[in-house]
Structure 1
Amino acid sequence: MAKYDALVVVSFGGPERPEDVLPFLENVVRGRGVPRERLLEVEAHYQGFGGVSPINQQCRDLVAALEKVVDVPVYWGNRNWHPYLADTVRQMAADGVRTAAAFATAATSSYSSCRQYIEDIARATAAVPDAPRLVKLPHFYDHPGFVAAMADHTWGALAEAGEDARLVFTAHSVPLSMAAAAGPRGGAYEAELRAASALVAAAVGKDDFDLVWQSRSGPPQVPWLEPDVCDHLEELARQGTEAVVLVPIGFVSDHMEVKYDLDTEAAAKAAELGLRMARAGTAGTHPRFVSMIKELMAEPEPAACPATCCVIGSGRPARTPATS
C-alpha cells in the first residue's frame, strides 16, 4: 500500500472575475496559434456567466469533502490559473510534506487529460527547492465509485426526462491525432470513454446508448472526433426520438464546458427540435466519488506511464485548447 502524507487535487483552473477571463484564456492557448477571434468568442461565453468559471469553487468543494474522509492534509493547485500548482507545491514543501498523492480531475488517457498533468507536476516540483514527491493517481473511468456516482445522477435525469429517454454520453472532442495517440497502445481516450458509458448505462438498466462529442475549438481543417452533440440531437429528432438524457461522462465537475455547451447550446437545440432533454450531473462531490479518491490512495503506488504514452509520432504531444 502506498503511503502519502498529503493529497493534492490538480485541476485545470478558471477565472473568477470578468477582468481575468482573457488572461486566463491566453494562458490556456499560449503557443498554440489559436486565432484572437476564437479567444474573444470563448471570452463572451464566460462573460455571460459573470466572468466566473464554476470550476474553482467546485475544486474547493471537492477539497472540503475530501478533508472529511482522508487523514492527511488536502491541497489544491491548477494548471492555468490561481492557485497555480507550483505555488501549492511551494506551500506543501514549507509544511514539510515529503510524498503526496496527486489527483488529477480527469478520468481518462490522452495528452490533455493525463500526459499534460504529468508535465504540470514535473514542472511544478522542479521549480520548488526540496519539493515533495508527487505521485499521480491512476485513471478512474471504470472505477466503481465513479460509475456509481454517474449512474446515480443519470437516474435523476431519467426521472426528469422519462425512462424511455435516449442516453447520450458526451465528452470533450479532441483532434483525431490526439485520440489515436492516447494510451500506451493508442486509441485509449475513446475506448475508455465508451467503456465508462457502457458501465453507467448498464447500471441504470440500459443496453443501448450513444457517445458523442462537444466543445471542439480547433481549426476546421484539422479533423476532430465527431459527431458533435448538437448535430447528434438533430439526427435523433429526425429518427423520431422524443426525449434524451445528456450524460457528461468526460467531465468530473459542472464547469464552463458543461454549463455553456450542454446547459445552454445543447438545451437550446433540443428545445428547437422539440426534444425533451435532461442533463445528468457530473461526479462532483458525490459521496462515492469522494470515497473513490480515498480508495485510490490506498492502492499500491501506480507505475509511471511510458514516455511514449499519449505522444504523437513526431515526438511532440498533440495539443488542444480547452476551457473550464
Structure 2
Amino acid sequence: MTDTTPLVRSASDAAATGAPHIEVPVAYDAILLAGFGGPEGQDDVIPFLRNVTRGRGIPDERLEEVAHHYRHFGGISPINAQNRALKAAIEGELAARGIDLPVYWGNRNWAPYLEEAVQEAAGAGDTTLLAIATSAYSSYSSCRQYREDFARVLEATELVGTVTIDKVRQFFDHPGFVHAFTEGVRDAVAALIADGVAADRIQVLFSTHSIPTADAERSGPRDRDFGPGGAYAAQHEAVAAFVMANVRDEVPAAAQTDWELVYQSRSGPPSQPWLEPDVCDVIGELPDRGKDAVVIVPLGFVSDHMEVLWDLDTEAMEAAEEAGIRAVRTPTPGVDPAFVSGLVDLVVERLKGTPASARPHQTDLGPWFDVCRPACCENVRAGFKPAVSGLLP
C-alpha cells in the first residue's frame, strides 16, 4: 500500500515538497500576521491567562500571581496595539512597493483569534496564505507552537483542503530585525562613554525569554549540534555577537565593553530547569565585576510588550537601582522602517522564490528554513501535535 500522507500538512504545492528553502515563485493570496495576543482590560486578564496555560491545569489562584503584571498596567497588554500598528505598517510598505496582498491578523491567545483571521481570509477567497509570526527565533513556544496552532485552526474551521498556510523563515538574523538592536546598543554605549563612563565599566546584557532547558535542547533541527541551549541559545548568541562587532566598528572604545546573553520571564516550577542566568541576578553581580553601568538589550522581543515593560523596564531597572549602577534599556524593532521593510522582504522571497544563496542573513546560522525540518522544536511534555509549515512529525 502506498503511503499518501503529505510530507507537509496544508502547504502550498511548492512547500509541500518539503524542501528546506522554497526557490520557486508562489502566488500567495494574502499574509497572515500571527500574534501572541494580550488582555485589553482588567476583566480579560484571567481568561487570557487561562488561554495561555490551557491544558496545564493551573488554578486561577496561581494565575493571579502572574496577573498582577497586567493589573499594574490597568489590565492592558500593549501587544495588541503594537500588532495593529505593525499590521498597518506592513500594509503601507506593501502598497508603497505595489504589492497587492491583504494582511489578516489573528492571535493565538486573545481576540482577534487566528480562527477569525483564517475564516475572514477564506470568505474573501484568499486561500493561499503566507504567515508571519511575531517571533524571530526557533523554539517550541516561538515557532512550532504557532505552526501547531495553524493546524488546529484549519481543523477547527473545517478549512483543511481549502486553505493552505506556509510560513516565512525565522528572521532572527535578517538585517531588518537586527538593525534596531545594533543602533540601540551603539547609541547607548556611545552616550554613556560621552557622559564619562569608562567603556570597560559598561556591561551589555542581551536579554531574551527563558524557556525550559529541555525545550531549548530540542530547538532547531535534530541533525545539527547547536550546543547546550540548542538553536534557541545559539541564534541569540550569534546575533548578539554580530551586534557587538558592529558597535565596536562604530565605537572603537566599545572593544573594552563586555557583553553576555541573559534570560528573563521564567514561569516554570523551581524543580524544572530553565535557561539561565537571570537578568536581575546578573545585574546584582555587576558592581563586584567593577561595572558602573548596564545596557539592557531586549534581543528576544519584536516589540515592547509585557515582558519588556515589566521584567525589564520595571524589575531590571529596580535591580540596577538597588545595585547602584546606571541602566539604559535599548529599543525593540516595533515598527522601525527597517524592520517593516525586512518583513516585506521575507514575503517577497517567497513570492519570487529567491534562492537561499541570495537571501540576506547576518550570522552563519542563516538563512533559516522555509519549511521546518523533521522533529524540529519538540515539546517534550506534550509530544508532537499536528503542525503545518514543516516536515512531519
TM-score (norm 2): 0.77
Q: Which residue matches 1:39?
A: 63
| Aligned partner of 1:266 among 304, 313, 316 | 316
Contact 2:139 2:216 in 1 (8 A): yes
CA shift, 1:155, in A, is: 2.9
The farther-off stretch of 306-315 and 8-17 is 306-315
Q: Which residue matches 1:212?
A: 262
Is 1:10 aligned to residue 34 of structure 2?
yes
Separation in structure 1 between the aligned mates of residue 80 and residue 43 of structure 2, nearest angstrom: 16
Contact 2:214 2:380 in 1 (8 A): no
CA shift, 1:198, in A, is: 1.1
Per-residue Cα deviation, 1:184-243 (whole angstroms, up to 9, x for no partner): 126101001111111122222255411000000000011111110000001112112001
Separation in structure 1 between the aligned mates of residue 266 and residue 61 of structure 2, nearest angstrom: 15
Q: Which residue matches 1:48?
A: 72
* Counterpart secondary structure, 1:231: helix
Is 1:201 aligned to residue 238 of structure 2?
no
CA shift, 1:159, in A, is: 4.8
Q: Which residue matches 1:58?
A: 82
Is 1:178 aligned to residue 215 of structure 2?
yes
Q: Which residue matches 1:93?
A: 122
CA shift, 1:317, in A, is: 5.8
CA shift, 1:158, in A, is: 3.0
The farther-off stretch of 55-64 and 236-245 is 236-245
Q: Which residue matches 1:321?
A: none
The structure with the largest alpha-carbon Rg is 2
Contact 2:114 2:153 in 1 (8 A): yes
CA shift, 1:121, in A, is: 1.0
Structure 2 residue runs of 5 or longer lacking an equivalent are 1-24, 249-253, 354-368, 386-393
Separation in structure 1 between the aligned mates of residue 28 and residue 316 of structure 2, nearest angstrom: 42
Structure 1 residue runs of 4 or more that deviate by more than 6 Å after TM superposition:
none
Structure 1 residue runs of 5 or longer lacking an equivalent are 319-324
- Aligned sequence identity (%): 50
Separation in structure 1 between the aligned mates of residue 62 and residue 293 of structure 2, nearest angstrom: 32
* Counterpart secondary structure, 2:93: coil
Is 1:154 aligned to residue 191 of structure 2?
no
CA shift, 1:61, in A, is: 0.5
CA shift, 1:312, in A, is: 5.0
Aligned partner letter, 1:83: P
Contact 1:161 1:277 in 2 (8 A): no
Contact 1:169 1:197 in 2 (8 A): yes
Q: Which residue matches 1:230?
A: 280
Is 1:275 aligned to residue 325 of structure 2?
yes
Separation in structure 2 between the aligned mates of residue 57 and residue 156 of structure 1, nearest angstrom: 27
| Aligned partner of 2:168 among 137, 153, 170 | 137
| Aligned partner of 1:291 among 326, 334, 341 | 341
Separation in structure 1 between the aligned mates of residue 375 and residue 306 of structure 2, nearest angstrom: 31
Contact 1:158 1:278 in 2 (8 A): no
Q: Which residue matches 2:356?
A: none
Is 1:221 aligned to residue 288 of structure 2?
no
Per-residue Cα deviation, 1:77-108 (whole angstroms, up to 9, x for no partner): 00000000011100001111121210001111
Q: Which residue matches 1:124?
A: 153
Question: Once superposed, what is the RMSD of the aligned Cα atoms?
Answer: 1.9
